[in-house]
Amino acid sequence: MIKHLLSAADLDLDSATLVLDTATEMAAMASREVKKLPTLRGRTVVNLFYEDSTRTRVSFETAAKRLSADVINFSAKGSSVEKGESLKDTALTLQAMGIDGVVVRHPASGAPTTLSQWVDGSIINAGDGTHEHPTQALLDAYTMRSRLGQLKGLRVTIVGDVLHSRVARSNMLLLTTLGAEVTMVSPPTLVPVGARDWPAKVSYDLDAALPDSDVVMMLRVQRERMTEAYFPSTREYARRYGLDVRRMKLLPEHAIIMHPGPMIRGMEIAPEVADSPRSTIVEQVANGVSVRMACLYLLLGGRSL
């Protein structure tokens, strides 16, 4: 049993499968006229976001409200953080208010783990620095299973800015636990030191990896985290690592295309590819609500992970 969801590595095969199966039950509720369960009535969830993120924050807010929780949205902008309040003092304030769960996004890797030492309620990591984003990995795995039927033995190619991607790390950990084979494809300058020790293959050749892929997951190029030039130009990046129509034709017929968003059309992925029937980008957003409902339900609703 775990109390917090700080890393994809917190989940073993059984607990990860339980989250995905619970998300399937939650997704069925989306077709009802009243999309609400009383499970978390009387519980309070805080969305504690030190970085802007419309997609993830709204997804968690929708998920908590569908479970009837009271939701408080906290943005660092315009708060006491701008006056110099520390993470610990913010945590102690939340603790004093009797918060049941905290969904935290923070620019510093490890901030959710530190927060978990000061707050009695459950902590869910909604993205910390370049470290991890476990619920994104869960919704990606859920989307793959929904489209392709199973995860064991699936060949997943993750492409792009691996160095700065918490999505890549969490996916690699979770997908490996679930029995998938992961290949990272990236410019050499965007491969982290120590990547050779990961449970994943590393390649610099996208064209060679695509014919053997059941899933290709494009990553966002995180320019805001780059302090130097990691590739010559946007055009050069697109030429070598962008997914265009020609490259899409190299994929097996059943293969799907994913992107965690927000995406840069024309650089990371061509508009025709992003909008093609093979793309799951919009599905991923919808599935995110079901998966986050499952996480909140299991962590705060009294069932064991």
Q: Give the closest residue to 171 by CA, choosing from 156, 154, 193.
A: 156
81 to 78, 101, 121, 256: CA distances (angstroms): 8, 20, 21, 42
pLDDT digits (tens, 9 = 90+) for 262-287: 999 999 999 999 999 999 999 999 99
CA gap 9, 15 in Å, rounded: 11
pLDDT band at 134 (very low <50, low <70, confident <90, very high): very high
Establish whether 235 is an annotated binding residue. no
Establish whether 56 is an annotated binding residue. yes
pLDDT for residue 34: 85
Find the mean pLDDT for residues 156-185. Answer: 97
Compute the mean pLDDT over every residue in the chain, rounded to the nearest whole number. 92
pLDDT digits (tens, 9 = 90+) for 135-153: 999 999 999 999 999 999 9
pLDDT band at 305 (very low <50, low <70, confident <90, very high): low
Establish whether 145 is an annotated binding residue. no
Establish whether 246 is an annotated binding residue. no
Establish whether 225 is an annotated binding residue. no
pLDDT at 105 over 90: yes
pTM value is: 0.94
Establish whether 106 is an annotated binding residue. no
pLDDT for residue 194: 86
Establish whether 278 is an annotated binding residue. no
Least confident of 106-115, 157-166, 239-248, 295-304: 295-304
CA gap 11, 6 in Å, rounded: 10
Least confident of 61-65, 77-81, 255-259: 77-81
Establish whether 194 is an annotated binding residue. no
pLDDT digits (tens, 9 = 90+) for 171-222: 999 999 999 999 999 999 999 888 888 999 999 999 999 999 999 999 998 8
Write out the two tokens for 298. Answer: 């299991």
Establish whether 136 is an annotated binding residue. yes
Establish whether 261 is an annotated binding residue. yes
pLDDT digits (tens, 9 = 90+) for 85-100: 788 898 898 889 899 9
